Structure 1
Amino acid sequence: MDERIQLQYGCPAYIEGIGTPYGYVPSLGAGIAFCALFGLSTIVHTVQFIWKRQWWASVFSVGCLVEVIGWAGRTWSAKCPYNTTAFLMQISTLIIAPTFFTAGIYILLGRFIQVLGRESSFLKPNLYLWIFCTCDIISLVVQAVGGGMASGEADKIDGDTATGTHIMVAGIVFQLFSITIFVVCAVDFIRRTIRNRLLQSVTGSVIPLFAAMGWEGYLITREAYFIALDGAMMVVSVAIFNLLHPGWMLPSGKPDSYKMEVPR
């Protein structure tokens, strides 16, 4: 069996001249730090949604937990940089994790529309969740198919990972496109309700999530950029929802009972 294939199933230290799947050896310190940060946020989010009985907000806890798993995979890779299981563990979870937060934002925007009145949006509140979550699921399925194809080829001697990589990138591009459309809808909502302070949570967290998307290319193969544009941006996003949790931002009661007129 080829030496590179053997390295994928063991835990050897970095060997000079033999590249890793990352293009570098992941930092052990960064892996531990982000595991701790996302782990702390998981606990805080769980306490918050249980305390305020905002059960839908559990998506933020799940998203943080998935981030912990992903950074645990990178911590593992710091010691075993060639291990395929560790690499696939981190790349799959770190691609999926932001989806839980975008789903939370879709729900949150729908709740705001219920609070402020139907006039605050050209879409019905529930359509945000159905349309954009469906787009996220489609993009993740495409990415999973492409990633599986690329991984299967990577296990072969002289395997061609190009097709799988292109399919996976297509899934990421589709996801970015759907998020862009959502941002356009959110901007329209903001324009209609600019005077309402409830907008802070949505607008402050969408931008970090947008910056966190990505997988292939120059930036992702240099750890400093990955830490800054993925890890740090996601920490900012989850922290915003810790500080401006929907349980404190949204009024209590049934949605139909607290509609109000939208400033024109």
Structure 2
Amino acid sequence: MASDDNHTDGSNYGYTPSSAWCIAFIVLFAVSAAVHTVQAWRYKYWIIYPTLVLGALVEVLGWSGRYWSSQNVTLLTPFLMQISTLIMAPVFFSAYDYVVLGMAINKLGPQYSLLQPKYYFATFITADVISLILQAVGGGQASSSAADGAPTQSATNIMVAGIIFQLVSMGIFLVLGLDFILRATSEKAYGFRERQIAKKALKRQEKAGRIAAEKPTLTHVGSDDTRVGVEGHVKPSSTDVEAQHLKEEQHEEHGHIRNWWILLAGVLISSTMILIRGIYRSIELVQGWDGYLITTEMYQNILDALMMLIAVGIYNFIHPGYLLPRKKSWRGYH
């Protein structure tokens, strides 16, 4: 799908965006958003709505702007529309990555993580919000300056700062994630994290002991473990039944643990795509509005759109609703 070079005069892109590529990405992001909407409703994962669904819809909006430009490449409004939306969309995808990694660490072993699971979401979402604000302010100023015919360099610098901030935070996130995976697979826990966990467990036990001491003791008279059936058969003892249940629970738990690792692979794939896209966008904007990257459509299609499609689409397949025990309510992330 090659772009049409017949109407590049006066184009803010340096080319005329290919309508075929634009339509393809509009459809693909819209399908991913629709599937995520249904999946989130069915499996009760509300966190997917303000992250993956919203991010995919922002991508649809951005590619709609590019399609609008393909019909009239001299218009400024769709150009600014797609610049602002496509730069900000990955923030929503990375937010979901943070949530899932925190959940996985909590399940697979918090002693292998440098940060406590709850801090992943709080820390990196804060970083994303800062990045989003910088990119929104820069994009707004760039739009205003471009509309007035004024220089856009200072606004561009703010946008670059926002993208680089996001890039650095995503890089740190990936390093922490890989560190957790390596430590968990080799069973090398952080000593200070083990002490923290043991201290919290002790406090919980002491609290439970105090509560139990305050409650009246009830005496329960049990019956024999073994009972003889009407036809003379010996029924299994409660000990045998408990052992069987324990065996079944251990087998089920092993399957759940394996599925958490599959979900974690999805996080690494999505995060890597966002990182690649961030590197591309940073270099693109540093080169300026007439630089080689921003005026070559192929890079936008591959290093931005395709990367983001993988980042959001991977969770349509590696979905917590398919891999983890079914949620019974909308409360919590899982």
Counterpart residue number, 1:185? 176
Residue matched to 1:65: 57
Question: How far off is 1:151 after superposition?
Answer: 2.3
CA distance in 2, matches of 1:141, 1:85: 21
1:157-207 residue CA offsets vs partner (Å, 9 max, x unmatched): 4x2211111221122111111111111111111112338533221112211
Question: How many matched pairs?
Answer: 240
Computed over aligned residues only, the root mean square deviation of the Cα atoms, in angstroms, reads: 2.1
**Which residue in the other structure is 2:277 paired with?**
212
* Aligned residue number for residue 162 of structure 1: 153
1:99-248 paired onto structure 2 within 5 Å: 99-157=91-149, 159-194=150-185, 197-198=261-262, 199-213=264-278, 214=281, 216=285, 217=287, 218-248=292-322
Please point out which of 24, 37, 41 is paired with 1:46: 37
Is 1:76 paired with 2:68?
yes
Deviation at 1:28, TM superposition (A): 0.5
Task: Give the structure 2 partner of residue 96 of structure 1.
Answer: 88
The code of the aligned residue for 1:224 comes to M
Measured against aligned partners, the alpha-carbon deviations of 1:120-161 in whole angstroms (never above 9, x if no partner) come to 31211121111111111111211222222222222234x221
Letter in structure 2 aligned against 1:104? Y
The TM-score with structure 2 as length reference comes to 0.67
Query: Which secondary structure does the structure 2 equivalent of 1:194 belong to?
Result: helix
CA distance in 2, matches of 1:169, 1:191: 33
User: 1:147 & 1:204 partners in 2: Cα distance?
Assistant: 28
**Identical counterparts, % of pairs:** 45
Residue 45 of structure 2 aligns with an amino acid whose one-letter code is: Q
How far apart are residue 239 of structure 1 and its match? 2.1
Aligned 1:19-34 pairs, distance under 5 A? 20-34=11-25
The aligned amino acid for 2:269 is G
Partner of 1:37: 28
Q: TM-score, normalised by structure 1?
A: 0.84
SS across alignment from 2:185:
coil
Give the 3 Å change call, closer, same or farther, for CA 38–66 of structure 1 in structure 2.
same
What is the deviation of 1:54?
A: 1.5
Q: Is this contact kept in 2: 1:25–1:78, CA < 8 A?
A: yes
State the distance in 2 between where 1:253 and 1:48 align.
Answer: 12
Q: Is the 8 A contact 2:99 2:121 kept in 1?
A: yes
* Larger Rg belongs to: 2
